[in-house]
Amino acid sequence: MVNTEYTEKQLQTEWLYKELGIGSRVYALGKQIEEELKGRFALIDENVEYNQMKVLHAMQKCRVDASCFAATSGYGYNDYGRDKLEEVYAAVFHGEDALVRPQIACGTHALAVALSGNLRPGDELLSPVGKPYDTLEEVIGIRPSGGSLAEYGVTYKQVDLLPDGSFDYANIEKALGEKTRMVTIQRSKGYQTRPTLSVDRIGELIAFIKERKPDVICMVDNCYGEFVERKEPVEVGADLCVGSLIKNPGGGLAPIGGYIVGKKQYVENAAYRLSSPGLGKEVGASLGVLPDFYQGLFLAPSVVGGALKGAVFAANIYERLGFSVLPDGRESRHDIIQAVTFGTPQGVIAFCQGIQAAAPVDSYVTPEPWAMPGYDSDVIMAAGAFVQGSSIELSADGPIKPPYSVYFQGGLTWQHAKCGILMSLQKMVEAGLVKL
């Protein structure tokens, strides 16, 4: 017997997708892939539940109450809600202390604060996982820029990953020298086609480094990785863990901000750099953003789960169509980013224009490549977001340079992430880049 009511509802939903501009063939392929992924999605939901309970437990343990949401201004002395939020972050991420502030403008800023707060002239910074994300190149001084670490006498070394994506332990050991003060480990791939690092792999690398140089500070750039797994980098030996609130931990509600969590001494050093020596964490008004910070953190595990489903869905669709994807459709996930390599600038542009067309904000505009500050090539970005630049919301971007890969992430709900991927495919079809 046919359930006519269910069929009618399906037709109503398909009609709405058609009204949004998604054709029947694209929609049908999406339904087929979604059906195949039910078991995978159930595993993601299990992790969401664990991480949700972890955040809830931290908030209850730290005794969050309504007074935590009050705004402060001026110097921000005795900002109870700000200090309590940092206590919650320290509990969630298993650190001794945390710095969580709206004065941190973005992830790059948070990393720059952590680096410059803990490095001194004559120190050396080592990256054992290859080149860092483009915007950090000028922070470090790989590309010359005013105020870089290089201008302050901090040197830099890097050891690339081996061709198979594994750590080059022999050369890492050689690179660890007397001046090596800090090691920076980027969890996510950035604009590269290397694997994202799991928390366990990060732990193995930190253990190797600490065995040879126990006093080195190991910092993890955790951007895009929060709540993807059940563990976070501090739990496997990281001294500092750094990220952005307009990515995973802000849950789509935080309008700005970043966090630094880990060993108390190193967090305090970062606070002295963010504000001023002698002031540190004592100043920095919350300016009314605390309710969004708290509620965003509370929602973050669920939001990240939806984004993960979108990434897995994208990998399976584009892999089915013959494109190179990283991670592939079956691999375990360690961040929310999905890379798809098209081999042509036209593919990157069409994909991003599809993501923009599926946005709730600025859906009618057409993104084009442009010379974005901090990058060494033109970059195209699709981000019709409620918070400008929020990459936990549905977004995609990529540099217009070989191998012409696009990086998709986010989606405050799984359903919106799904719509964005289908719209990206629709634009590829309309541009003659894909045939169904």
Question: Per the domain annotation, does 94 fall within a domain?
Answer: yes
Each residue of 32-53: pLDDT tens digit? 999 999 999 999 999 999 999 9
Print the SS3 string covering 361-375. CCCCCCCCCECCCCC
414 and 351 part of one domain: yes
pLDDT for residue 346 is more than 80? yes
Last residue of a domain, one of 234, 267, 288: 288
pLDDT for residue 174 is more than 60? yes
What CATH number did the domain enclosing 283 receive?
A: 3.40.640.10
Whole-number Å distance between alpha carbons of 232 and 2:
48
284 and 306 part of one domain: no
pLDDT for residue 2 is more than 70? no
270 and 332 part of one domain: no
Each residue of 247-294: pLDDT tens digit? 999 999 999 999 999 999 999 999 999 999 999 999 999 999 999 999
Please tell me whether residue 261 adopts helix, strand or coil conformation: strand
pLDDT for residue 219 is more than 80? yes
319 and 259 part of one domain: no
Residue 6 has a pLDDT of: 63
Host domain of residue 335: 13-50+298-430
Banded pLDDT at 313 (limits 50, 70, 90): very high
Question: Per the domain annotation, does 2 fall within a domain?
Answer: no
Question: Per the domain annotation, does 5 fall within a domain?
Answer: no
Question: Per the domain annotation, does 194 fall within a domain?
Answer: yes
281 and 316 part of one domain: no
What CATH number did the domain enclosing 322 receive?
A: 3.90.1150.60
263 and 323 part of one domain: no
Last residue of a domain, one of 288, 311, 327: 288
Give me 383's structure tokens: 């981000």
Residue 372 has a pLDDT of: 77
Percent of the chain's residues with pLDDT above 70: 98
pLDDT for residue 4 is more than 90? no
Residue 3 has a pLDDT of: 67
Banded pLDDT at 191 (limits 50, 70, 90): confident
Percent of the chain's residues with pLDDT above 90: 93
CA dihedral 396, 398, 404, 407 (to 10 degrees): -40
Direct distance between the N- and C-terminal alpha carbons of the chain, in angstroms, rounded to an integer: 32
Question: Per the domain annotation, does 18 fall within a domain?
Answer: yes
Q: What is the mean pLDDT of the chain?
A: 95
311 and 279 part of one domain: no
Average pLDDT rounded to a whole number, residues 116-130:
98
221 and 159 part of one domain: yes
Give me 91's structure tokens: 């509990």
Residue 224 has a pLDDT of: 96
pLDDT for residue 374 is more than 70? no
Question: Per the domain annotation, does 59 fall within a domain?
Answer: no
142 and 232 part of one domain: yes
Domain count along the chain: 2
Question: Per the domain annotation, does 358 fall within a domain?
Answer: yes
Question: Per the domain annotation, does 66 fall within a domain?
Answer: no
Banded pLDDT at 241 (limits 50, 70, 90): very high
**202-207 contact pairs (CB < 8 A, 24+):** 202/233, 202/236, 202/238, 203/233, 203/235, 203/236, 203/237, 204/167, 205/128, 205/129, 205/167, 205/172, 206/236, 206/237, 206/238, 207/237
With CA atoms as reference, report the closest residue to 281 among 86, 95, 68, 64. 86
Please tell me whether residue 228 adopts helix, strand or coil conformation: coil
181 and 201 part of one domain: yes
Last residue of a domain, one of 262, 288, 314: 288
Cβ–Cβ under 8 Å, residues 424 and 354? yes
Average pLDDT rounded to a whole number, residues 364-369:
95
323 and 382 part of one domain: yes
Residue 345 has a pLDDT of: 96
37 and 87 part of one domain: no
